[in-house]
Amino acid sequence: MLEQWHNGYVTKIVNETHNTRRFWIQVPDKEPFDFKPGQFVTLDLPIHEKKNKRWRSYSIASCPNGSNTIELVIVLLEGGAGTTYLFNEVREGSELLLRGPLGVFILPEALDRDLFLICTGTGIAPFRSMAHFIHKHQVPHRNIYLIYGSRYIKDLLYPDEMQQLQQELPDFQYIPTLSREDSPSWTGRKGYVHTVYEEMLADRKPAYFFLCGWKAMIDEAKQRILAMGYDRKDIHLELYG
């Protein structure tokens, strides 16, 4: 059965970086808006006559908290009809038609292996939700590595919050890696996400892999993880764009 559509109301909008915005959406007829960390909602935007050309899906970036408000973090895509509408037409108080929560990109029942959360860009959204959930509910876990690829420092989403979470959540490591940053002030990892997890898994220890972001990164990560001898069943993906 497909989820029904609900009216949502935008209660707050914040510019997170030069081209990403955080949207808080309240869904009055879902109290609470209950979802599993990693799930997404689909918006029906008035950008086309055909229904399926109006639908855009976004991972929920907030953690389930018993309220009926969720947060989405959205990047403005050049020439993208959906994001252009969201950035140009949607204001605090705007109404949005949505359905959800949807999707099976969710944490395993037991976190009995190391967890590799590998993402680029707004692909951090479901992992932010998962990490806060694990922290809030003190879910027993092994090591958790959030490996986050971006081009420049200015593109990183939630960097201070993730550093703070690294202080508070035992065995959680936040590892941003930048592919184009040449500022001397950046002392973190440089390059792409793949080098990071390959180095960390030189000993081939048991792990779960969650991949979220652009297709090129996900395709490459999947090939590399399989080439290291891991099983397809250990890899979970959520494609963007």
Residue 121, annotated as binding a ligand: no
Q: Which helix (H) or strand (E) holds 129?
A: helix 125-136
Written as one letter, the residue type at 25 is: I
Give burial (CB, 10 Å; 0-12/13-18/19+) of 70. buried
Edge-to-edge order in the sheet of strand 20-26: 55-59, 40-44, 95-102, 5-17, 20-26, 69-75
Packing angle, helices 125-136 and 159-168, rounded to 10: 30
Contact between 175 and 162 under an 8 Å Cβ cutoff? The reply is: no
Q: Are 8 and 100 in contact (CB under 8 A)?
A: no
Q: Is 100 annotated as a binding residue?
A: no
Tokens of 53: 């050309």
Angstrom distance (rounded) from CA 241 to CA 235 = 19
Q: Which of 175, 125, 122, 186 is nearest to 152 (CA)?
A: 186
Annotated binding site for FAD: 82-83
Binding site: what residues are annotated? 82-83
